Structure 1
Amino acid sequence: MTERELFNTYNKEIYRTCYFLLQNAQDAEDACHDVFVTVFQRDFRKVVYLKAWLMRITTNHCLNLLKKSRKKREKQLQIWHLYEEARTSAKALETIVEEKSTAADWQKLFKELPDKLLVVITLRYVNDLTTTEIANVLHIPVGTVKSRLHKALKIMRNKLQEEDFYYLKGENPIEAYGR
Structure 2
Amino acid sequence: MDIVKLVKKARKGNDEAFEQLIGTVREKLYRTAYSYVRNEQDALDIYQDTIYKAYTSLKTLKKPESFSSWITKMLVFKSIDFIRKDARYFTTDDEDIFTKIISSEDIESIAISMDLSEAFKFLDSKYKTVILLRYYHDLSIKEIASILNYPEGTVKSHLNRAKKELRPILKEGYMHE
Normalised to the residue count of structure 2, the TM-score between the two structures is 0.64
Structure ranking higher in helix proportion: 1
Q: Which has the larger radius of gyration?
A: 1
- Which string of whole-angstrom CA distances, capped at 9 and with x for unpartnered residues, describes residues 80-123 of structure 1? 7xxxxxxxxxxxxxxxxxxxx57555334323222211110000
1:26 is the counterpart of 2:41: yes
1:139 is the counterpart of 2:139: no
Shift of 1:138: 1.2
| Kept after mapping to 1: 8 A contact 2:30/2:43 | yes
- Number of paired residues? 139
1:61 is the counterpart of 2:78: yes
- Which string of whole-angstrom CA distances, capped at 9 and with x for unpartnered residues, describes residues 124-144 of structure 1? 111111111111111211111
Unaligned runs of 5+ in 1: 81-100, 169-179
| Kept after mapping to 1: 8 A contact 2:145/2:151 | yes
Q: Which residue does the alignment assign to 1:174?
A: none
Shift of 1:68: 4.2
Question: Which has the higher relative contact order, 1 or 2, with Cα contacts under 8 A spaced 6 or more apart?
Answer: 1
Q: Secondary structure at the match of 1:113?
A: coil
State the Cα RMSD in Å.
2.8
1:124 is the counterpart of 2:141: no
Shift of 1:38: 1.4
1:110 is the counterpart of 2:120: yes
Q: 1:107 to 1:26 in 2, by over 3 A?
A: farther
Q: Which residue does the alignment assign to 2:101?
A: none
